Amino acid sequence: MEREKVAIIGAGVIGGAIACAISDDFQVTATRRKIERLSPLAERGINITSDNDKAVSEAEVVIISVKPYQVIPLLKNLSNGLKDKLVISFAASINLDLMQRVIPDSRVVRAMTNIAVQVKEGYTVYSCGKNVTDSDKNVITKIFEDMGEYEEVDEQHLDVLTAMAGSSPAYLYTVVEAMIYGALQVGLPRDLALRAAAWSVIGASHLLLSSGKHPAELRDMVVTPGGVTIDAIYALEDGKVRTAFMKAIRDASLKAQRLARDACDEAERQLGKEN
Ligand SMILES: NC(=O)C1=CN([C@@H]2O[C@H](COP(=O)(O)OP(=O)(O)OC[C@H]3O[C@@H](n4cnc5c(N)ncnc54)[C@H](OP(=O)(O)O)[C@@H]3O)[C@@H](O)[C@H]2O)C=CC1
Ligand SMILES: O=C(O)[C@@H]1CCC=N1
């Protein structure tokens, strides 16, 4: 069976990861302006070009993975070619309504994922525009399945989910790095410290998801009275780690919402100028 053709416009960090994750099941063409940086994708059999128009014209599905401020100008440039196509944007903060105003004749999906797509273990959340069909949904879920876990959500949650799902690996790497440094301080070899921290994150996550238990209950099961863990928990509470994480998620969510407002204001200015 002929594989569906997908164009990925802006194959940088996340677009490149998506290209690799779906390339067994879809015929992928990846674009960016600095085409020489796409050679690792070409080595994996992915078509590469810096010609967005050509990539779009040959594709049935178009994935947009440029920076948020580049999305609206890009969609305007490509609007003729995008007519009647399914367009999936992974850009933070650029909402469905805004994209739909610029490409009214396309079927638009807004999605957020994370860097674990590189190992096909991303977590993708998405919302569909009004005219997305059931057959589009089949294609969308096939793409997202190749990237890891996925679920459809109400668009109103996508800015907070950018902070929770899209950005989360960065927070976890910060935690893991700090844990490794703690272990180095008391003499554990570097590679052993890294494996201990990373496998603990994976195991703890799987247990959390499969047990259905609240994280506080699971934490309590680890804390042996008079034992080792309680001294770590005491130090973490003393360092206000929970407040720090709550602030981090709140601030990142507010930033996503502010970027969304700025993008709308800028688009209004541009669209106003054209009318
Ligand atoms: N990084 C992450 O973990 C995640 C990022 N995102 C979202 O993905 C988007 C991209 O982020 P990220 O991958 O980190 O950023 P990158 O800068 O790595 O990727 C953006 C890419 O877009 C390319 N680009 C810019 N303009 C054009 C154009 N006109 N035509 C074709 N390609 C173009 C750039 O390459 P060149 O300059 O060579 O053209 C660059 O490679 C953002 O909107 C972000 O919100 C979503 C989820 C997770
Ligand atoms: O930092 C960002 O804006 C993007 C969105 C989620 C992850 N990276």
**The domain at 5-157 falls in which architecture?**
3-Layer(aba) Sandwich (3.40)
CATH topology of domain 167-239: ProC C-terminal domain-like fold (1.10.3730)
Cα 182 to Cα 215: distance, rounded to the nearest angstrom: 23
Residue 211 pLDDT > 70:
yes
Ligand 1 pocket check for 115: Cβ under 6 Å: yes
Q: Mutate which of 32, 144, 164 to test ligand 1's pocket (most atoms within 8 Å of Cβ)?
A: 32
Average pLDDT over residues 229-244: 98
Q: pLDDT (tens digit, 9 = 90+) per residue, 95-128?
A: 999 999 999 999 999 999 999 999 999 999 999 9
Residue 271 pLDDT > 80:
no
Which pLDDT belongs to residue 101? 95
* ipTM value for the complex: 0.99
* Report field, pTM of the whole predicted structure over 0.90: yes
Q: Domain locations in the chain? A: 5-157, 167-239
Which pLDDT belongs to residue 275? 62
Distance 71 CA to ligand 2 centre (A): 14
Residue 178 pLDDT > 90:
yes
| Residue 272 pLDDT class (50, 70, 90 cuts) | confident
Cα 120 to Cα 115: distance, rounded to the nearest angstrom: 9
Ligand 1 pocket check for 144: Cβ under 6 Å: no
* Buried b / exposed e along 177-197 (16+ C-beta atoms within 10 A): eebbeebeeeeeeeeebbeeb
User: Does the annotation list 52 as a binding residue?
Assistant: yes
Tokens of 238: 């003393």
Q: For residue 162, which atom of ligand 2 is closest to its CA?
A: 6
Distance 166 CA to ligand 2 centre (A): 6
SS (H, E, C) 140-176: HHHHHHHHEEEEECCHHHHHHHHHHHHCHHHHHHHHH
